[in-house]
Amino acid sequence: MKLVMTLLVRDEADIVRHNLEFHYAQGVDHVIAMDNNSLDGTDAVLEEYAREGRLTLHRQTSDEYRQSEWVTAMAMEGRARHGADWILANDADEFYRPSQGTLKDVLAASGERLLDLRRYNMVSSFEALARRPWEETLIWRSVTEAGPPMLRDIYADPFPRPFFCQKLPGKVVMPARGLVRVEAGQHGAAYDPSKPAEFSTDITVYHFPIRRLEPFLRKNWVVGRATEEDAGLPPDRNWKTRRWYRMIEAGREDAVRREVLPSRLRLLRERALGEVVRDEALRRDFARLGFPRPPAA
Residue 293 reports pLDDT greater than 80: no
Rounded CA-CA distance 89/30 in Å is 12
- Predicted pLDDT at 202: 96
Helix axes 253-260, 239-249, angle to 10 degrees: 150
Higher pLDDT, 231 or 204: 204
Give the pLDDT confidence score for residue 294 in this predicted structure.
Answer: 63
Radius of gyration of the chain (CA): 19
Burial of 180 (0-12, 13-18, 19+ CB in 10 A): middle
pTM score of the predicted model: 0.91
Tens-place pLDDT, residues 159-203:
888 999 989 999 999 999 999 999 988 999 999 999 999 999 999
Distance CA 286, CA 14 (A): 13
- The pLDDT tens digits of the residues spanning 100-137 come to 999 999 999 998 899 999 999 999 999 999 999 999 99
> What does the pLDDT read at residue 297?
47
Please give the pLDDT value at position 122: 97
pLDDT for the residue numbered 256? 94
151 Cβ neighbours under 8 A, 6+ residues apart: 157
- Rounded-to-integer distance, Cα 216 and Cα 226, Å: 15
Of the listed ranges 97-111, 212-226, 260-274, the one predicted with least confidence: 212-226
User: Residue 223's pLDDT is what?
Assistant: 87
Q: Rounded CA gap, 55 and 36, in Å?
A: 16
Distance separating alpha carbons of residues 124 and 225, to the nearest angstrom: 27
Distance CA 95, CA 165 (A): 18
pLDDT surpassing 90 at residue 146: no
Predicted confidence at residue 233, as pLDDT, reads 84
Q: What percent of the chain lies above the pLDDT cut of 70?
A: 99
Q: Do 171 and 186 touch, CB atoms closer than 8 A?
A: yes
Task: Give 64 or 83, the one with higher predicted confidence.
Answer: 83
DSSP state of 85: S
- Percent of the chain scoring above 90 in pLDDT: 79
**Looking at residue 213, what is its pLDDT?**
86
Average pLDDT rounded to a whole number, residues 60-71: 88
User: Is-contact 269 144, C-beta < 8 A?
Assistant: no
For the chain, the average pLDDT equals 93
Neighbouring-strand partners of residue 59: 35
Q: Which of 150, 142, 167 is nearest to 270 (CA)?
A: 142
CB of 96 closer than 8 Å to CB of 173:
yes
Q: Is the pLDDT of residue 25 over 80?
A: yes
Amino acid 102: pLDDT: 97
Q: What is the C-alpha to C-alpha distance for residues 49 and 7, in angstroms, rounded to an integer? A: 13
Helix and strand numbers (H, E) in the chain are: 11, 12
Residue 250, pLDDT above cutoff 50: yes
